[in-house]
Amino acid sequence: MNKNNGRLLSLDVLRGLDLMLLVGLQPVLRHLLVELDIPALNDTLLYQLDHAEWEGLRVWDLVMPLFLFMSGVTMPYSLPKYRTNNGNGKVWARIVKRFILLFLLGMVVQGNLLAVDLDRVYVYSNTLQAIAVGYLMAAPLVLYIKPRYQLVIIAALLLIYSVPMHLWGDWTPQGNFASVVDKELLGRFRDGSMVAADGAVLFADWYDYTWIWSSLTFCCTVALGSFAGHLAKSGNENRVATAKKLFVMAVVLLAAGYLFGMFQPVIKRIWSASMVLCSAGWCYLLLALFYWWIDVKGHTKGWGWLLYYGCNAITAYLIGEMMNFRGIVESLFHCAVHPVLLTACNSLIVFLILRYMYKKGIFLKV
Domain boundaries, the chain: 11-50+334-359, 52-170+212-299
Whether the Cβ atoms of residue 236 and residue 154 lie closer than 8 Å to each other = no
Q: What is the spatial distance between Cα 20 and Cα 86, in angstroms, rounded to a whole number?
A: 35
Q: What contacts 75, CB < 8 A, 6 or more positions away?
A: 135, 138, 139, 142, 222, 225, 226, 229
Beta bridge partners of 194: 202
Question: 300, 261, 313: which is closest to 9 by C-alpha?
Answer: 300
pLDDT band (50, 70, 90) for residue 115: low
pLDDT at 315 exceeding the cut of 70: yes
Q: Where are the alpha helices (DSSP H) in the chain?
A: 9-20, 26-36, 39-41, 47-48, 63-73, 75-86, 88-110, 127-144, 147-167, 177-186, 215-234, 239-260, 273-290, 304-310, 313-322, 326-333, 339-359
Report the 10 Å Cβ neighbour count for 54: 14
Q: What predicted TM-score, i.e. pTM, was given to this entire model? A: 0.93
pLDDT for the residue 192: 87
In sequence order, the β-bridge partners of residue 193 are 203
Burial grade of 112 (CB within 10 A; 0-12, 13-18, 19 or more): buried
- Percentage of the chain lying above the pLDDT 70 cut: 95
Query: DSSP 3-state assignment of 203?
Result: strand
Instruction: Give the residue from 25, 6, 14, 8 showing the smallest Cα distance to 307.
Output: 14
Say what the pLDDT of residue 2 is: 43
Q: What is the rounded average pLDDT for all residues in the chain? A: 92
Res. 36: pLDDT tops 70: yes
Is pLDDT of 339 > 60? Answer: yes
Q: What does the alpha-carbon distance between residue 249 and residue 54 come to, in Å, rounded to a whole number? A: 27
Mean pLDDT to the nearest integer, 206-214:
96
Q: What is the pLDDT of residues 235-293, one digit of tens each?
A: 888 999 999 999 999 999 999 999 999 999 999 999 999 999 999 999 999 999 999 99
Question: Sorting pLDDT into bands at 50, 70 and 90, what band is 324?
Answer: confident
Q: Is the dihedral of CA 104, 106, 109, 110 positive or negative?
A: negative
pLDDT of residue 5: 44
Burial of 270 (0-12, 13-18, 19+ CB in 10 A): buried
Q: Please determine, for residue 197, whether its predicted confidence score (pLDDT) is greater than 90.
A: no
**Percent of the chain at pLDDT exceeding 90:** 75
Average pLDDT over residues 134-155: 96
More confident residue, 326 or 36: 36
Q: Rounded distance, CA 38 to CA 350, Å? A: 29
Could you give phi then psi for residue 211, rounded to 5 degrees? -135, -50
Tell whether the model's pLDDT for residue 3 goes beyond 60.
Answer: no
Dihedral sign from CA coordinates of 239, 155, 251, 277 = negative
